[in-house]
Amino acid sequence: MDHKFKIALDIGPLAVFFLAYKFAGVYAATVAIMLATFLSLSITYCLEKKISPMPLISGIVIAIFGMLTIIFHNEEFIKMKPTMVNIIFASILLGGLYFKRPLLKYALGSALVLSDKGWEVLSLRWGLFFLFLAGLNEFIWRNFPTDFWVNFKVFGMLTLTMVFSLLQLPLIKKYGRND
């Protein structure tokens, strides 16, 4: 699949959420992100005949927390969704390290070639970063208005993730292998 198209499929649901929120509010945005995520995962599956674990887990959590938001007409559920996704990802990565299996290697192994030590360090960093994002999301949605939380979710988390990713380049260079 074309790289730009893949990025559009990954970021598209977030953009749909943001626009729906701005024009129709949090409940419409919740339905919109659920539908956009389902569409994105469906297109990905049709083109690649598989769905990577991270988007699949995120999609399942969006479906669960989105339905809870709509059924109970309570926006707190959709605000908790990023916390849950980040805790799940952190648990997977840190749990893998506990059992001496850097699971990030299986998710990114086709994109990166690192030594075992590199995978361990990268998995630890990402696991801790996901915990940081979970805590930050909890702090923001509990202490700021919904408008602020939406902007943080769309722009803040994305920016923090991109900056954190770029900060991993020296580690990737240090532990990269040319097998």
Instruction: State pLDDT tens for residues 17-50.
Output: 999 999 999 999 999 999 999 999 999 999 999 9
What percent of the chain lies above the pLDDT cut of 90? 83
**Which pLDDT belongs to residue 60?**
97
Annotate the chain with three-state secondary structure: CCHHHHHHHHHHHHHHHHHHHHHHCHHHHHHHHHHHHHHHHHHHHHHHCCCCHHHHHHHHHHHHHHHHHHHHCCCHHHHHHHHHHHHHHHHHHHHHHHCCCCCHHHHHCCCCCECHHHHHHHHHHHHHHHHHHHHHHHHHHHHCCHHHHHHHHHHHHHHHHHHHHHHCHHHHHHHECCC
**Which of 48-57, 70-79, 134-143 has the lowest average pLDDT?**
48-57
Residue 35: per-residue pLDDT:
98
Residues 123, 96 contacting (CB under 8 angstroms) = yes
Give me the mean pLDDT over the 90-99 stretch: 96
Q: What's the chain's average pLDDT?
A: 94
Task: Specify the pLDDT at position 23.
Answer: 98
Q: Is the pLDDT of residue 109 over 70?
A: no
- Report the distance separating Cα 5 and Cα 10, nearest Å: 9
| Predicted local confidence at residue 6, as pLDDT | 85
- pTM assigned to the model: 0.92
Quick one: pLDDT band at residue 108, thresholds 50, 70, 90?
confident
Domain ranges in the chain? 3-175
Phi, psi of 111 (to 5 degrees): -95, -30
Percent of the chain with pLDDT over 70: 98
In this predicted model, what pLDDT tens digit does every residue of 131-176 receive, in sequence order? 999 999 999 999 999 999 999 999 999 999 999 999 999 999 999 8
Per-residue pLDDT at 83 exceeds 90: yes
Q: Is residue 81 pLDDT above 90, yes or no?
A: yes
Using the predicted structure, report yes or no on whether residue 178 has a pLDDT greater than 80: no
